[in-house]
Amino acid sequence: MRPDILFPLFAALNSLKGVGPRIAALLEKAAGPHVIDLLWHLPREIVDRRERPTIAQALPGKIVTLTLTIGRHDAPSDRRRPYRIQASDPTGSLTLTFFRGDKKYLEQLLPEGSQRIVSGRLDLYNGIKQMSHPDHVHPLDKASEIPDIEPVYPLTQGVTPKVLGKALTAALARVPELPEWLDTAHLARTKWPAWHEALHAAHGPRGPSDLSPLSPIRQRLAYDELLANQLALTVVRRKAKRQGGQSVEGDGSLRRQVRDALPFALTGSQESALAEIFADMASPNRMLRLLQGDVGSGKTVVALMAMLNAVECGGQAALMAPTEILARQHYETIAPLVAKIGLKCVILTGRDKGAARRDSLAALAEGRAPIAIGTHALFQDDVAFRDLKLAIIDEQHRFGVHQRLSLGSKGHRADVLVMTATPIPRTLTMTAYGDLDSSRLTDKPPGRQPIKTVVIADSRLHEVVDGIGRKLKEGAKVYWVCPLVEESETSDLADAEGRYADLCRSFGEAKVALVHGRMKGKEKDAAMARFIDGPADILVATTVIEVGVNVPAATVMVIEHAERFGLAQLHQLRGRVGRGDAASTCILVRAEQLSETARERLRTMAETEDGFLIAEKDLELRGAGEILGTKQSGLPEFRLADIALHGELMRIAHDDARLVLERDPDLTGDRGRKLRYLLYLFERDAAIANLKSG
Strands (DSSP E) along 446-547, which ranges?
A: 451-457, 477-481, 512-515, 538-541
DSSP-assigned letter for residue 530: H
Which residues of 178-310 form beta strands (DSSP E)?
A: 288-293
Element spanning 167, H or E: helix 161-173
Whether the Cβ atoms of residue 237 and residue 436 lie closer than 8 Å to each other? yes
- Smallest separation, CB 621 to ligand ADP (Å): 24
Residue 119 vs 267, nearer CB to ligand ADP? 267
Classify strands 371-374 and 345-348 as parallel, antiparallel or unpaired: parallel
Q: Which of residues 299-358 bind Mg ion (CB under 5 A)?
A: 300
Site for Mg ion in 217-256 (CB under 5 A): none
- State which residue, 160 or 550, has the beta carbon closest to ligand ADP: 550
Residue 292 lies near Mg ion (rule: CB under 5 A): no
Give min distance, CB of 288 to Mg ion, in A: 21
User: Least distance to ligand ADP from the beta carbon of 536, Å?
Assistant: 21
Q: 283 or 333: whose CB is closer to ligand ADP?
A: 333
The binder of 512, among ligand ADP, Mg ion, none, by C-beta within 5 to 8 A per type, is none
Give the residues lining the site for ligand ADP (CB under 6 A).
264, 266-267, 270, 293, 295-301, 421, 445-446, 550, 579
Q: How many CB atoms lie within 10 A of CB 42?
A: 20
Residues in the chain: 694
How far, rounded to the nearest angstrom, does the alpha carbon of residue 412 sit from its chain's CA centroid? Answer: 32
Q: Which does 255 bind (CB under 5 to 8 A by kind): ligand ADP, Mg ion, none?
A: none
CB of 389 to ligand ADP, least distance (A): 22
* Shortest Cβ 264–ligand ADP spacing (Å): 4
Nearer to Mg ion, 43 or 548 (CB): 548
Vertex 227: Cα angle to 226 and 228 (nearest 5): 90
Looking at 533-678, which runs of residues are DSSP E strands?
538-541, 554-559, 584-590
Sole window of 129-137, 296-304, 513-521, 681-689 interacting with Mg ion (rule: CB under 5 A): 296-304
> How far is the C-alpha of 229 from the C-alpha of 221, rounded, in Å?
13
Strands (DSSP E) contained in 133-275 are: 136-139, 149-152
DSSP element (H, E) containing 38? helix 35-40
- Residue 267 interacting partner from Mg ion, ligand ADP, none (CB closer than 5 to 8 Å by kind): ligand ADP
Q: Give the distance from CA 155 to its chain's centroid.
A: 19
Integer Cα distance of 650 and 224 in angstroms: 10
Look at residue 301 and give the partner it binds from ligand ADP, Mg ion, none, a contact being a CB closer than 5 to 8 Å depending on partner kind.
ligand ADP
Q: In DSSP terms, which residues pair with 67 in a beta bridge?
A: 117
How would you write 297-349 as a 3-class SS string?
Answer: CCHHHHHHHHHHHHHHCCCEEEEECCCHHHHHHHHHHHHHHHHHCCCCEEEEC
Residue 255: closest CA among 213, 293, 304, 292? 304
337 binds, among Mg ion, ligand ADP, none (CB under 5 to 8 A by kind): none
Interface stretch with Mg ion, choices 8-16, 250-258, 298-306, 514-522 (CB under 5 A): 298-306
CB of 299 to Mg ion, least distance (A): 5
The option from Mg ion, ligand ADP, none interacting with 190 (CB < 5 to 8 A, set by class) reads none
Torsion sign (Cα): 669, 671, 673, 678: negative
| Binding footprint of Mg ion, residue count (CB under 5 A) | 1
Q: In the chain, what is the straight-line distance between the N-terminal and C-terminal CA atoms, in Å?
A: 12
Q: Measured from the CB of residue 550, what is the shortest distance to ligand ADP in angstroms?
A: 5
Instruction: Give the nearest distance from C-beta 503 to Mg ion in angstroms.
Output: 28
Q: How many whole angstroms separate alpha carbon 678 and alpha carbon 674?
A: 7
Nearer to ligand ADP, 266 or 465 (CB): 266
**Residue 21 interacting entry, from Mg ion, ligand ADP, none, C-beta within 5 to 8 Å by type:** none
For ligand ADP, the closer of residues 101 and 575 by Cβ is 575
* 266 contact, one of Mg ion, ligand ADP, none, CB 5-8 Å limit per kind: ligand ADP
Q: Which is nearer to ligand ADP, 293 or 322 (CB)?
A: 293
Helix, strand, coil distribution of the chain in percent, nearest 5: 45, 20, 35
Find the radius of gyration of the CA atoms of the chain: 31
For 32-139, strand residue ranges (E) read 45-48, 63-74, 83-89, 92-98, 115-121, 123-125, 128-132, 136-139
CB 601 to ligand ADP: min, Å: 22
Residue 293 binding result from ligand ADP, Mg ion, none, given CB thresholds of 5 to 8 Å by partner type: ligand ADP
Q: Among Mg ion, ligand ADP, none, what binds residue 67 when CB lies within 5 to 8 Å by partner kind?
A: none
- Per CB under 5 A, the segment of 183-191, 292-300, 377-385, 495-503 that binds Mg ion is 292-300
Residue placing its CB nearer to Mg ion in the complex, 229 or 300: 300
Shortest CB 302 distance to ligand ADP, Å: 8
Closest to ligand ADP by CB, 76 vs 450, is 450
Instruction: State the binding partner of 297 from ligand ADP, Mg ion, none, CB within 5 to 8 A by kind.
Output: ligand ADP
Choice between 43 and 322, CB closer to Mg ion: 322
Residue 288 vs 295, nearer CB to ligand ADP = 295
Min dist CB 432 to Mg ion, Å, is: 21
Burial of 416 (0-12, 13-18, 19+ CB in 10 A): buried
Which candidate, 275, 282, 274, places its Cα nearest to that of 250?
Answer: 282
Tell me the closest approach of the beta carbon of residue 299 to ligand ADP, in angstroms: 4
Q: 392 or 678: whose CB is closer to ligand ADP?
A: 392
Beta partners for residue 119, in sequence order:
65, 136
Closest distance between ligand ADP and the C-beta of residue 329, in Å? Answer: 8
C-alpha to C-alpha distances, 160 to 35, 153, 170, 211, nearest whole angstrom: 18, 11, 16, 21
Residue with the closest Cβ to Mg ion?
A: 300
Q: Which of 575, 672 has the CB closer to ligand ADP?
A: 575
Shortest CB 337 distance to ligand ADP, Å: 10
CB 18 within 8 A of CB 27: no
**469/552 with CB nearer ligand ADP:** 552
Q: At what angle do helices 324-340 and 521-533 cross, to 10 degrees?
A: 60
Residue numbers at the binding site for Mg ion (CB under 5 A) = 300
